Amino acid sequence: MTDDGCLAGKRALVTGAASGIGLAVARRLVAAGCEVTMTDISPIDVAELIGPHPGQREVRNLAGSARACQADLADRESIAELVRCAGQVDVLVNNAGLQHVSPIEAFPDDRWDLLLSVMITAPFLLTRAVLPGMYQAGWGRIINISSVHGLVASPFKSAYVTAKHALLGLTKVVALETAARSPAVTAHAICPSYVRTPLVEAQISDQARAHGIDEAEVLERVMLAPNAIRKLIEPTEVADAVAFLCRPAAWTMSGSALTLDAGWLAH
């Protein structure tokens, strides 16, 4: 999908938009003409983030625009305020996430609760809030950024894997319900393997220290070992998938998982 204003007049809400996938998605949707509400637990300087970047068009000169609404997705009152701030939402991108690595027997209760609150309860609450407006408008997209870990498991990531699997289940239920109410309102999940985000880069550094090897070896021998193509996915490539799912033909994929796994599941 080219940046041709094809989403002009549409309004999007993107969570986890201060960096990584969420920021790339926000930029992509603005470039396509969308009005985007960016939210994160961290403050967002829209003027700094949605602007000229190397290799990118100056998106502020296009039809779309962006604004920020800071929110804590682990807090229901904060989510309710975010819904009020965002107003009508035509495209909801549930992207916010975090990680905690621990054996199950040592996994802290508070981290379990936090990960599931942010990565499955918040997407449910936001979906529930925006669906009535989508039904009334006769068009909408619920796009959940799951993970290859929504399809397969890895040890020591029980909360993350559980939440990402649950997000796929929620996607399917939403797809069935929206199909009965308004076929132009669709639900999708995107399942990438490791993406070059601050979250993943921190994991690379941690693994390098833990294993006593350099970061290139961590990528090759540890993190990207399951991939057929051993390279990190770029956030802009996930954003391209989001943009594709906003196209009219994407109704054919409602309820499906779009897998960007670099061949992980081909083995």
Catalytic machinery residues: 160
- Which residues 6+ apart lie within 8 Å of 159 measured at CB? 100, 107, 111, 112, 115, 116
Q: Which residues pair with 13 in a beta bridge?
A: 37, 92
Strand partners, 143: 93, 188
Handedness of CA 132, 135, 136, 137 (dihedral sign): positive
> Nearest to residue 246, comparing CAs of 193, 176, 188, 192?
188
Whole-number Å distance between alpha carbons of 161 and 149? 5
